[in-house]
Amino acid sequence: MLFKRLGIDLGTANSLVYLTGEGVVLNEPTVVAVSIDDNRVVAVGNEAKEMLGRTPGNIVASRPLKEGVIADYVVTEAMLRYFLDKVCGKTRFFKPEVMICIPAGCTQVERRAVMDATLSAGARTVYLIEEPLAAAIGAKIPIAQASGNMIVDTGGGSSEAAVISLGGVVVHHSVRVAGNRLDEAIGAYIKKKFNLIIGERMSESVKIQIGDAMPKASPKSSLRKMEVRGRDSLSGLPRMIEISSDEIAAALENPLQNIITGIKEVLENTPPELASDIIDKGIVLSGGTALLTNIDKLIMEATGVAVHVSEDPLLCVVRGTGVALENIDLYKRSIARR
C-alpha cells in the first residue's frame, strides 16, 4: 500500500499512534508549548511536558484537549501535524488515512472539530470511532456477538461507561471526571490540609506512586508514604511534607464517586437481557485511571458486579482503533468517515 494508515488515540493526558502492520509507534503526553510572541509551536509531547509550570513569560505550555474534546483548535492541529510528520516523515507523496477515537458523548460540533483538525494536519481520509468501542476491541472483547459486554474507559479527561452488543454501543454515559480531576483533587486536598501548594506534575506523581481508591484497604503497617515538595501558602517558602496512601484515598473520594455514579446510570438503563450477560462476564476497565490501586475493588463494592482490569489498559483504545482500521469493513456501521 502506497499510503500509511494510522490509528490515533487523542487523549487529554497522552496521545498514542498505531501504525497498521507495526503496532503502537508513538506514545507522548498531549502537551504543546507555544511562543506567545509569534504564535509558533516550540515543543510537543515529552519535551513540552517537561516545560509545564516551568516556562518563562513568553512561552505557554498547555494541554489543548480538555475533558476528552478539543479546547484549542489551532494548537491541536499543530500537534496532530507533528505526530503525522514524526510517523510518516515530513515529505510524503501520499497523505495517510487516519482513524481517531472520540468520546461517545461528544457533540456534532466536537466531532467536526476533530475531523477538520486532522484533515488540516495532512490526513487523506478521516474516520471517527467511539472510545468505548475502540477500548472494547483493544481489550479483546468479542463485541460482534449478540450478548452484552460492559466497558469502562477512564482516561485523563473523561470516563466513559458503555454496554456493547452486536458491534454497537447500546447504552453509554460519559462523565467528564477522570485522571486530571483526580490530580486536581490531590492538589486541593494538600493545599487545604497542609497549606502547601503543589504543581500539576507533583500531583500526578503522588497519584501514580501512592494513589489508592480505598482507604484502609490494607493494614496500617503496609501504608505507602511519599515526600511531597511545594510552596507554603502562608510563608511563600519552599517546604516538604510526608503524605500517606490513606490520605490520598480520602482526597480522591469525591471524584471517584462521580465515576461510579456514571457507571450505575449505565447499569440502570441496560436492557434486562444484556444486564444478565454483564452479571456473568463482569465489567472491564481500560484507560490510564484503571491502573489506580483498588479502583476495581471500589467499583465492585459499589455495583455488586465483578470488575476486571484489562491487559495493558493504557494501550486498549489505540490498539482497538488500529484493529478497527485494519478491519474497516467489519466495523463500518460504527465508524463515521470524511
117 is in an annotated binding site: no
CA atoms within 13 A on the CB side of 281: 21
In this structure, are residues 207 and 248 in contact, taking their beta carbons and an 8 Å threshold? yes
Do the annotations mark residue 205 as ligand-binding? yes
- Alpha carbon 104 to chain centroid, angstroms: 13
Q: For residues 73 and 91, is the Cβ–Cβ distance under 8 A?
A: no
Whole-number Cα distances in Å, 16 to 6, 13, 147:
10, 10, 30
Are 123 and 94 contacting, i.e. CB atoms less than 8 angstroms apart?
Answer: no
Beta-ladder partners of 34: 41, 60
At residue 30, φ and ψ (nearest 5 deg) are -85, 70
Going residue by residue through the chain, which has 338 residues, state the pLDDT in tens, using 9 for 90 and above: 567 889 999 888 889 999 988 889 999 888 899 888 888 888 888 888 888 878 888 888 888 888 778 888 888 888 898 888 888 887 777 888 999 988 887 888 888 988 999 999 888 899 999 899 999 999 999 888 888 999 999 988 889 999 999 888 899 998 888 999 999 999 999 999 999 999 888 999 999 999 989 876 555 546 788 999 999 999 999 999 999 999 999 999 999 999 999 999 999 999 999 999 999 999 999 998 999 999 999 999 999 999 999 988 999 999 999 999 888 888 777 787 87
Q: Is 206 annotated as a binding residue?
A: yes
Cα Rg of the chain, angstroms: 21
Q: Is 320 marked as a binding-site residue?
A: no
Residues 6+ apart with CB under 8 A from 137: 143, 319, 320, 321, 323, 324, 331
Q: At what angle do helices 200-210 and 179-194 cross, to 10 degrees?
A: 100
254 is in an annotated binding site: no
CA angle 320, 102, 209 (to 5 degrees): 75
Nearest alpha carbon to residue 88 among 165, 1, 8, 19: 19
13 is in an annotated binding site: yes
The CA distances from residue 204 to 156, 182, 184, 224, in Å, are: 11, 8, 9, 16
Q: Provide the 3-class DSSP secondary structure of residue 119.
A: helix
Report whether 207 belongs to an annotated binding site: yes
**In order of start, what are the domains of the chain with their CATH numbers?**
5-134+317-337 (3.30.420.40), 143-177+256-313 (3.30.420.40), 179-251 (3.90.640.10)
Which residues does residue 16 pair with via DSSP β-bridges, in sequence order? 9, 27
Q: What secondary structure does DSSP assign to 260-279, as a single string?
A: HHHHHHHHHTS-HHHHHHHH
Instruction: Please state the pTM of the whole predicted model.
Output: 0.88
Question: What are all long-range contacts of 197-204, with beta carbons under 8 Å and residues at least 24 apart?
Answer: 197/230, 197/231, 197/232, 197/233, 198/228, 198/229, 198/230, 199/52, 199/53, 199/230, 200/52, 200/53, 201/49, 201/52, 201/53, 202/228, 202/229, 202/230, 204/179
